[in-house]
Homo-oligomer: A and B are copies of this chain.
């Protein structure tokens, strides 16, 4: 056992110059690009008083800030605490889970403000940002956090930063194709965030396949307390998902409706997850992995349709089904993907984001195709799908077709982009750890020493706690 460990240690995971260099270089690039391009939107600029008169607004409360800021903060919590803590289930990888998620998200939101800004908020040579841009940047980074879930424990922080750079770029292109070229609705991002992010991450982890990963099998599990920390992540994602799916919907009824639909879907999802978690286990006991993850599938699966007239019972049905699909995925599909397709998916994002994301895209397409003026009202119908200007004559069934096309485009972008980025990350220069050192904080982190090594000995059945 000693030999391979020492061989593994030979892999160069020394970060001292590489990580600082990448961080500083990229941050300087951000500062320069922000300096050239980014300014405040009229609602955040000191000229707002004049803007207000122009827009004929009588009160400061009509500033977009007050429509969206509470949702923004909820989304912000989901990205940093939600994802960060959800990935803390591994017994010796808590620092990395929350710390690397922090790092990549903090970098990603800056790059996303630029990329999405060029596509959507570019006016006379400047990107004008307001609270909606902050939400969209968080959304974009959400897709990177999802992909991080697949490769959790197996990559260096530099690899994560490189992946973030590319994935944010590709996300923005894909989003532009969907929202602007195909004129697709996807407020909660079933397609742009979840389907794209998950299949992107799965492709990357496939390419980074580690045949000897079972060498670190003993560190891939959870301990009692790490599971409780992970539940913090789960619950914040679950509770704030209504804010996620409604954050960038139209003011008024659309935001209101999106929150209600998501609330219903998530509630149903908890019950079907619990049912199948118990049913699929011989001893009938509940499995924390399912509770931590599959309960969230309901939020993913109404991501596209939540702002539409899905209705509360429609949401219950979608949540119910996605909880089942996700739990079944954890029990049967994940082992299959690993053994047969060599897809090592640490957090099971295929079950939580990929499949529910596809369901979400399909439900969105169907809900759009089924829309009628009767259900939405004349004005509501036009407003809900933005059937104005060039899209004035688009019918619901055509819209449904474009929605479906959006799924396909997202999948293609994910596979192609994931393939490309996976290949780049496979280069032997990024400082990733040897397979027997995966899922271990102390490769990249100062870990408190004496006590923990004791605890670790205690946790290691091979080394008796002897005097």
Binding site for B on A (CB under 8 A): 14-17, 19-21, 23-24, 26-27, 30-31, 34-35, 38-40, 43-50, 52, 59-67, 69-71, 73-74, 76-77, 80-81, 84, 88, 91, 94-95, 98-99, 102-103, 106-107, 109-110, 113, 129-131, 134, 157, 221-225, 227-229, 231-232, 235-236, 238-240, 242-243, 251-257, 259-260, 263-264, 266-268, 270-272, 274-276, 278-279, 281-288, 291, 295, 309, 311-313, 316-317, 320, 375-377, 379-381, 383-384, 442, 444-448, 450-452, 454-455, 458-459, 461, 464-467
Contacts and interface: CB of A to CB of B under 8 A. Distances in A.
Report the 3 A-B pairs with minimum CB-CB distance, sorted nearest first: A16-B284, A46-B380, A48-B253
Contacts of A66: 61, 66-67
Contact of A259 (B60, B65, B239, B445): B65
Contacts of A279: 16-17, 20
Nearest to A64: B256
A210 B448 CA distance: 25
A311 B40 CA distance: 7
27 contacts: A16-B281, A17-B284, A20-B274, A34-B312, A40-B253, A40-B257, A44-B256, A44-B260, A45-B257, A46-B376, A46-B377, A48-B380, A50-B379, A60-B67, A63-B253, A65-B259, A66-B67, A73-B74, A73-B239, A80-B239, A109-B267, A110-B267, A131-B256, A223-B451, A283-B446, A454-B459, A454-B461
Contacts of A256: 43-44, 48, 63-65, 130-131
Nearest to A228: B94
A197 B120 CA distance: 42
B38 A313 contact: yes
A267 B111 CA distance: 11
Given A259-B65, A287-B446, A448-B221, A271 B26 contact: yes
A376 to B, nearest CB: 4
A260 B134 contact: yes
A285 B446 contact: yes
Given A46-B253, A81-B239, A227-B448, 10 more contacts: A16-B279, A16-B282, A23-B274, A38-B312, A47-B376, A49-B377, A50-B379, A109-B263, A131-B259, A465-B467
A352 B227 CA distance: 28
Contacts of A276: 20
A16 B48 contact: no
B313 A35 contact: yes
Nearest to A36: B313
A23 B74 CA distance: 29
Contact of A88 (B228, B442, B445): B228
A238 to B, nearest CB: 7
A370 to B, nearest CB: 13
A204 to B, nearest CB: 22
A18 to B, nearest CB: 8
A373 to B, nearest CB: 10
A16 B313 contact: no
Given A44-B253, A44-B257, A129 B23 contact: no
Contacts of A17: 279, 284
A216 to B, nearest CB: 15
Nearest to A27: B271
B49 A380 contact: yes
Nearest to A45: B253
Contact of A129 (B48, B225, B312): B312
Contacts of A31: 268, 313, 316-317, 320
B24 A260 contact: no
A465 B259 CA distance: 52
B448 A275 contact: no
B34 A313 contact: yes
The CB with the most chain B CB atoms within 10 A, among A26, A103, A281, is that of A103
Contacts of A286: 15, 95, 99, 157, 444-446
Contacts of A16: 278-279, 281-284
B20 A94 contact: no
Contacts of A157: 274, 286
A282 B14 CA distance: 10
The CB with the most chain B CB atoms within 10 A, among A109, A271, A282, is that of A271
A437 B311 CA distance: 44
Contacts of A130: 256, 260
